[in-house]
């Protein structure tokens, strides 16, 4: 029981206490900064545009092939959105009977460069899951001061 409590204190409670202290410092300056960032994303979320999506020719022809590298490049123009964005590839299986999707894996794109309001992302992966899968791309806001994706309830799916 002591080991379990020590684990909880180390893995969760200390981190939460430190975060709480950071949010309270300087008359809640960090909390106000986070709130302003959320308001800015809320005001401009629909303004960003996916300018281009390029991916391996094999994926266009036959879908992902087990063990064969796939390359993706995405360019996003944030337009008026000042906050940073992230991109993920989502891999899911579809149940034939219900058409329900079950998440198998996600792969995060790497931000390669930023030119003005344009963001350039790359992802190189080697598929490790066999069988028929569905692929999707999703874009989400990124803020280093928000440790969990659920802290920022914005997400946009983009078509491959």
The three-state secondary structure class of 26 is: helix
Q: Is the pLDDT of residue 61 over 90?
A: no
**Tens of pLDDT, residues 64-115:** 777 778 899 999 999 999 889 999 999 998 888 888 888 899 999 999 999 9
**3-class DSSP string for 88-121:** EEEEEEECCCCCCEEEEEEEECEEEEEECCEEEE
What is the structure's pLDDT at 58? 67
Contact 91, 105 (CB under 8 A): yes
What average pLDDT does range 116-133 have in this prediction?
Answer: 89
Residue 30's nearest CA partner among 42, 39, 21 is: 21
What average pLDDT does range 124-139 have in this prediction?
Answer: 87
Q: How many CB atoms are located within 10 Å of the residue 94 CB?
A: 13
* pTM for this prediction: 0.83
- Spell out the domains of the chain, with CATH numbers in brackets: 46-158 (2.70.50.60)
Return the exposure string of 3-14: e unless at least 16 CB atoms fall within 10 Å of the residue's CB, then b.
eeeeeeeeeeee
């Amino acid at each position: 029981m002591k080991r379990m409590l020590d684990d909880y204190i180390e893995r969760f409670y200390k981190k939460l206490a430190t975060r709480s202290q950071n949010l309270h410092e300087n008359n809640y300056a960090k909390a106000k900064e986070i709130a302003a960032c959320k308001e800015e994303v809320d005001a401009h979320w629909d303004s960003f545009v996916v300018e281009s999506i390029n991916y391996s020719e094999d994926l266009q022809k036959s879908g992902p092939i087990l063990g064969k590298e796939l390359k993706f490049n995405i360019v996003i123009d944030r337009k008026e959105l000042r906050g940073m964005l992230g991109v993920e590839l989502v891999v899911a299986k579809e149940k034939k009977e219900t058409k329900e999707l079950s998440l198998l894996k996600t792969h995060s794109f790497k931000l390669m460069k930023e030119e003005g309001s344009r963001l350039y992302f790359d992802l190189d992966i080697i598929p490790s899951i066999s069988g028929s899968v569905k692929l999707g791309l999703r874009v989400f806001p990124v803020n280093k001061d928000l440790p969990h994706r659920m802290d920022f309830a914005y997400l946009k799916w983009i078509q491959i």
